[in-house]
Structure 1
Amino acid sequence: MVAHYSAATLSDAAGGRKLPVLAVTLAYVRACGGDPVEWEARWHALAARLSAEEEPGDGDAASPYVGLAAFQPEDSARFFGRERLVEEVRARLADHRFVGVLGVSGAGKSSLLRAGLLPGLRAVLFTPGARPLRELARLLDEHPPGDELVVVVDQFEEVFTLCRDESERTRFIDALLAEAESDIGSRRVVVGIRADFYHRCAAHAGLARALAEAQVAVGPMSSDELPRAIIKPAVQAGCTVEGPLLAKLVADATGQAGMLPLVSHALLETWRRRRGNALTVAGYEASGGIHGAIAQTAEHVYTALDPGRQRRARQILLRLITLGEGNEDTRRRVPCGELDDDPDTAAVLDALAGARLVVLDKDSVEIAHEALIRSWPRLRDWLAEDRADIRVHRGLTEATAAWEAVRRDPGALYRGVRLAVTGDWAKRHEDDMTAHERSFLDSSRHAEALDQALRQRRNRQLRWLTTALSALLVVAVAVTVVAVRQRQDAISEGLVSTSRQLAAEAETLAGKDVARAMRASLDAYQSYPTVEARSEVLSLASRRDYQALLPSPSDVRTKPAFTPDGHLLAAPGGPGHVDLWDVAERTRRDELTGSFGQVLVVAVSVDGTLVAAGTEDGEVLIWRLADRSLVARGASSTDPVRELRFSPDGRAVAVADAGATRLLDTRDARPVTTPGTGAGSGSLAFSPDGTTLAFTDGGGVVLWDLRTGSAVGTLPSPEGLLTSVAFSPDGRTIATAGAGRSVRLWDVGTRQRVADLDHVDSVAQAEFDPTGGRLFSVDIGGTVAVWDLARRARVGQLLRNKNHGVGGAVSSPDGRFIAGSSKSGFLLWDRTRVPFTGHVDTVSGVAFDPVGGNVVSGSADGSLLVWDRETRAPLASAPGGGTSSLETRGPWVSPDGRWVVAGYGGRVVLRDAATLAEVGVVLDGHVVEKAVFSPDSRTLALIVDARTVRFVDIATGSHRDRAVDGDGALDVSYSPNGRSLAVATERGRVLVWDTETGDEVVVAEDGHASTVVFSPDGTVLAATTYHDGAGRVVLWDAATHRRTGELTDPGGRFSLLSYSPDGRLIATFDHDDTVTLLDAATLTRWAVLSGHTGPVTDLAWSPDGTLASASRDLTVTPWTTDVQAALGELCRALARDFHDGGAPPAACSGPTP
């Protein structure tokens, strides 16, 4: 019987009056005993043929849907579903002169602003681009200053992704705020901002305040709004939307963030496949649906190109993307002049634009929407594979543009390391460069050669002069000295060059092959201790993608299993082998052997006495672990075994293959029962009490009662194939995963879905950790992610690299280790060596308890965690407000280790440092920029509302205030003896107050001072300033206030300074994903630490010299700054953790330079 389908649907299908939808077709096939796989292929072929035969209608110009592109003002008549939100923005605009419209990519912000808000307003609309200030000035010049005008800035995030000039970015934001605050006229400003750039806005105090006062959040469309957006445009165009199609679209998209461009594109493709004037489910499914239409369109366009133009398409599309720095990748508007003017480029652009995948205008090209980046697997693969190379290429593109802008000034050409790195890239990517980029690179090489020739000529002249003068004294001695010096210089130059090249290789390999990266870094440092070599040694010693790689003789992706005590990992080896690895020692302790085929999956019984293996030819083998004897062997079927699990009592083992799910007796490996006979996807799990077996079967999960031998329920999967099912340790929750790009959590008792954990890609596996508090998932894109189940949010990821091809992972019973199978072998993660993960929002602050040594971290949502440094486990926590706040500050720990202070939402709270229990409220209802304890821990100094420094007595709670006259304070710092307090201000002043007399000394007035700090011995005062587009670190003598040192970084910005406890190093960062270490004596770069996947937000030193960095990637990373210790760590890791068969590097067998 074909159930769950209406009589009309079945009648139309059976009578041949219309193509049945795929689900109906497969229902008939199963009812008639046909082959579902064969008939699904036939259905797709027929749907494609019918689509090709249909009349094209009036062409895309008549389409009621815009596809990936945003609605424009002229589309307002067909813009539906956002009426309530448009009124909300208009109401906010009536009450405030500056309004922010925020939402995730794909929420519909641009359409809301353009087609919803703009019509009926006197307004100007623009996107910032690379030169936002110039664009704003051009638009405003066309309107008198007193004009009432609404300035609408769409895609405001471009000021961070496309505008590289920090000074212009700041002046542009200041100009927008000035327009909204001006007493002349009543201009208003509306900015559309992608939500993941909200933190970047917080870096500008004025913008942060304006957004806090008036913002509108653009969320997913509701179940009432979405049908209007679907039906109304079709009705206007004289079309109808089938009821089942509307129901499916609403079910697929309602309540999901970022879905609107996917819906719009799917509707456009469905409209192109309409039957007469009707949009049908068949047309929708033939288009690929919401999750597949974009990929199907893009893939069709790409595969229709010849190989040469396919390469050109890849080059163009990668140019049109800005790589995310802690954010998702974004589209990049590219000037037409950046692309070569040739027939292949023109043909590719025409094809992409014809499919509405890119937007062309007379001056520029851009991707129609970021949804293309997220939804097209081929493009995601390109980005994952070539990320490092894309960064090099993008740097070349920007440098070429800058060179052209200054009329090819030789001073703008590449030299040194940048030229060497880019030249190495160019050898592998000659076809990817434009003519302009080739010209720039050729000119750079020529200039480098001229510079080298000039240096050689000067050296020759100097040597000649030296020789001539020396000859007057002792000719023979002078000649000998010059020759030796030349030889030494030549040797040193060669060693430095080799070191830098090896360090660059290590940086490239760090995300692909950890062992080779470690070898390259050691060889680099052994060659010469350059800054680059030191950076890679310290980075790899502190943070690696994984902690060990256990080799597998087979390149087949397999699944291992831990023993209950966590000491052994049973892993498939080559044919006839199961390897037993000692997890702690990373050595192969023993093996289970025999005459059987390639093992695909291994399981260990709950009591640890038995090991089972399933092979590619359907065999199941069971060994007794104590004596390694084979106790049972049988054939489940002839299909490869996809999964097997022991029952909790050890009496049965469940086996899944492509055709069935079976239970075998562990005594003889003979079948006991066959619960499932459908086209299973090969995943199963026993409930902890052993009463229920859950297994995937077709498009859902079957719950099988082992006591009655019958199915007691199913968990559906509307998205189709499921690849994973797992029970929580308490048996109350089931996790399912598969093609739907989410992990779904189900209540076992009610069989109701309780939560979705959304992913970018389809999910291959989901497993609970032994505590039940966390879940880890593996998606097809290579991400191994960790989720906090109480908060239903991601707290970190163990791996993001498709080069490893991770296909599955298992956790040790104590939760310390996770083993993942990959094409390289078995990757091992050690929780005690990975970054601290537990926050669900940006980690905005980090501090060390100077007495107990624990780490304290704070998140943008106001939550706090105390961590054990050794185990990386949380010891205490304090909840936050649940949402990100621009007013989150801290934490700060008192020098005596008793107190923690942190601010959230205008409230500053004093807490016990060990338990995080609230002790008292220090401040309420004010914005706090910074707080610092006095060295004796008795006083807390806070910057309140940017204009006042408040001194709070911790014991009594009393306070006194001191104003920062005519200026805004950004940072405060006590001297080590507590007698002075340094203040950094917005106008660039560095002030020092005597804490006893109150006397003030103005140390400097230079640009924008954001950070100030005393050296540990109190003799040096350091500050970061920003002026004329350049960041500076400036040092003064703390006693005489005489400037003693300065480091300038044109185009850069030092965001924070922190001295190491011994005063030897200064740590800083520039809002990217690296940490820079400066030599405190010379202010030269000593090392750059890399490994974070999002921008760094804060730094802290422990008393023992460990540096910790907080990041938007939700982690805190501890870094070693002891080079000798780092070298030892890498040597030990290569010898023990990575069995690559290579000889020990020279740095591991002899003294290092």
Structure 2
Amino acid sequence: MTPLLPGDPAQLGEYWLAGRLGAGGQGVVYDAYDQAGRRVAIKVIRPELLEHAGARADLVKEVAAARKVASFCTARIIDADLDGPAPYIVSEHIEGPSLRTAVERHGPFDADRLHRLAVGVATALAAIHDADVVHRDLKPGNVLLGPDGPRVIDFGLARTGEMSQTTEGEFAAGTPPYMAPERLAGQRGGSAVDVWAWGAMMLYAATGRPPFSGDLALLRYQVAGTRPDFTVLAEPLRHLVSEAMSLDAEARPPARSLLLDLIAMNTAASGPGLSQGGLSGLLTSGSRAAGEVRPAADPAAEPAAPSPAEVAEAVYGRLSPEDQALVPSALLRMVRSDESAGTALREAATRDLVDGARDPAGVQRVLQAYTDAGLLVHTGESITLAGAALLRAWPRLRGWVEADRAALSVHHALNRAATAWHANGRRPDDLYRGTILDETVEWAANGRGPLRPNQREQAFLDASRARTRDLARRRRRVRGTIAALVAVLLAAMGVVVVQNVLGTRQRDTSAARRVAALANRTRAADPLTALLLSVAAWRIAPVAEARSAMYASLAQRERSAFRPGPVSGSARFDLSDDGTRLAVLDGGRFTLWDVTAGRPARAFVGVSGPASAIALSADGRRLAVAGERSISVWDAERGVRVAEFGEGAQRLAFSPRRLLLAATTAEGRVRVWDLTSQRPLAVGDATEVAFSADDGLMAATLPGGRIELRDWQGVLARLPGAALAFDPARRELAVRAGGEVRFWDLAARRWREPVLKGFGARALRFSQDGRYLAAYDGSHLALWSRNGTRLLSHPVGELVSGLRLGPGTLAFGLLDGTAVTLDVSDLTRPRTLAPGVEAGLIDPARRTVIVRRPRVEVWHLGGPERPAVLPVTPTAMALDPGGTLLAVGTAGPARVTLWNLTTGTKERTFPIKGASEVGGLAFAPDGTTLAVAPFQETVTPPANNWRDIQLWDVRRGVRTRTLNVPGGSGLTFRPDGRELAVNGVDGALASLGGAEPVTRPFGESADGVRAIAYSPDSTVIATGALAAGVTLWNAADRRQLAHLPLKGFGAVDVLAFSPDGRTLAVGGSNRVQLWDVAERAPLGSPAVYPAGEVVALAFDAGQLRWLRTDGTLGDQPATAAGVAAALCARAGRSLSRSEWDRLVPGTPYREIC
């Protein structure tokens, strides 16, 4: 591949171009990538070839002909756009050298490889000719030796029997050394010209040179008067090539006969496809035999030049873990959020990448490594990616962009504004204010991705916020002056103004409550509409009901519940493989619905007769329909029936590669059909059939709870069990056996760990990466990680369409045709530190998480993927308010060590006398005092093991006071520093101003108080206990204010108030719940995580973050504005005016998202 030249397009349709693969008489072939990152080859036809009359129409026929060719040893045509100014054809990208290159580099083929090459090319020709197509430019340069064998490419000269006669221009475009005599004589020629070229190519592969050479006149003379030397070939290939190169076109054998003779010579290639007869079996056998044309040890199997994505990944792999962590932020500064290849990149100033980086030298190393690899280009002081296609080609970079896409435009605008501000002398008029400042500050504080403000950008934001505060102070002074001047006027008009304001406010409040109630009523049936209504209610008036409704939508797993409109009782449904499309057949009309957008993607009519079942292929391009007496297969894009065969069925299922169809009758008989030959490959009694991703294996559930696993040669294993699913990598088969799910290793032919117990699955489905397994037991959906951790249990109705696990989603279809999509992105794409966390602390202001497992690990979010480890095994930990000093208590002997987290060094250690260990620690709000709870292991009851709490001066390392209060594992200072709360059976509130401590101020309980938190204004105390929920207390008089019952909580282990005191976060067992403190009402449903206990909670800048024992970090917006933004991002749209008028009548329309 060579780089794009000036004038080459960056994008053709949806495809982004990465480089040139070659250029020839017909045009240029480009290396490109589609939206999903799939690599393709695009041939752009030279405009002058389409100037004469009928040329474009002939090109349309050429492409249609090429798309009819079955994909056996050929490069499949994927797409085409023939109507634009630059017509192009998109085909499958084949990795590997051409036959010509392989022979030039490594010499002629030996007899065995030559035979397999002959089989592969003959297989391709048989498939091409079966579609009534003639290639007409078969040559060594048009045969690629791919990883699965030879592939014939470039149908640019293909013709069908219905096309026009050969033209002079068309003749000149051929390749004379491989042209048949009739083509050299200027005649049209049929499929026999390809057979001649096949023979000539075999001679080239055997000798390293074409059988004829010279100019056109000499070639005509040689072909007509001489015969090539066939003795270089071994029999029986010699005889076949001699026949193929007969001067009489009629005497040449058809490609199908050639293939049949070649396979007959190769008994190793014979198999079920050949024994069945028919072209499909023949092509299958030929494809298998040809797949071995390039053994692993053969020099021709050397990999081709790596793609940009492979180069990028190789560079990434060579970097240290510390430098790898710097790559995302560096590259994302060179990317825009635009969806066009021409505008997707931006030039970043080198100083912007280094300025403010944690490791400037590391950033320089990263930039140099990618520059040396040719992936970055420098222009003066700027740097950018060498091509936009890398954004699609490299999965890692594509993931970074998608994860941070919303932030790209925000950051790009911030970078431009900060640069202009700095260049213009930092003028105040250039600073942000208003909405754009609020949005940018929100992103800078809560952005999850690696893209962060650098020093200049942060200084710009800080200056903008300072100026906004200054302007606000000035406005207040001005308003005070104006107020005094217009007091008389306001007195005269005040009654009218107040009445108008109050009237509007009351109307908005009433409307907001009404819309919030409608959202709650709608949520179960239509989650997306309910989500938008809850945001609308909040935008109308920020009442408590609207806030609660938004949190309920945020907590709801259901992202959407799409119904395809009125359908009859005979309608049949099926979900696409990724769960984003719903196929509906009703009354002879087929409609494919876009579930996300809620509108039809395509439709056609003409499917006659009642249907008992339908199935949509994995790529959505084929629809199978089971009628009363037959099965029909339709092209779902064009609405054309392409096949009809067999008998009726009650269930249908395509294989992943769309080559096979399983049809189950009402009596439990299954037929597996070869869709190419329309012949049955297997027949038997079964209730369920599954295929491996490559169609090479089939598993069937037989009567009596048995599973039969087989390939197309025969039975491989018989296993006990029922429901089943292959993993995408063909490594294992998931099987439900009794009340558990087990995994069968397909290679080792044995059961593998783990066993998923306690779930009798009716249906199973792997995710595309094989890391997760979804299961349905008749009433609940479960999601498991492949290591055996149960992540989700969700109640559902009766499923009619199987499970579909997409990126971050779990979809399924119900009996009434509803397609439900669950959001499981927090489960399948979590930020996981390390398993086995015993305790933890979160400092969100510095994006730091400290865990005990059992040593202390300090993780910096957005930083290196490995933590800093302190060489200590703690019994208690506490972090100072500044986030830089960590107190660690240890045992044997008891002591406290202060660690500086900035330098990673010890600052001070002091012993705790009279104790065997330190059981609890807490810093005072000013960070100067440390409370220590000593614990002495004795034979006396545990309640007597706590010693009196000690207060230590942190700076001097001396004990300043001992409180007459036994300690506990949970110590909490009041925000004003005047009181210390202690958990435990005897829980206490110790006044630090000299008053006597109050013990058991919260009454009696079985195990005392487990968690305590003060509101930020020190007026409310929240306490949590085992199985008793949360209680709110008046901090002044210890009077109970409210009890918050917690359904499903086994224990309350951690509590945290939001900075404004309006929200209380409760963590315990395996869930997190938010409460509206003023309303004493829960905000949405709890976030439930079966995999781990919650050990830490923290609020920061509108976000709530938590840590679980499985090492997973969770977070969610904790302000109404943040929740509204998150819901709008999830919905991807706003309420339209028509929806607003229907759902929110009587209230002026407003844009809510």
Tell me whether the two structures share a fold, i.e. TM-score over 0.5. Answer: no
Q: Normalised by the shorter chain, which TM-score bucket?
A: 0.3 to 0.5
TM-score (norm 1): 0.42
Structure number with greater CO (CA < 8 Å, separation at least 6) is 1
Structure showing greater radius of gyration is 2
Q: TM-score, normalised by structure 2?
A: 0.42
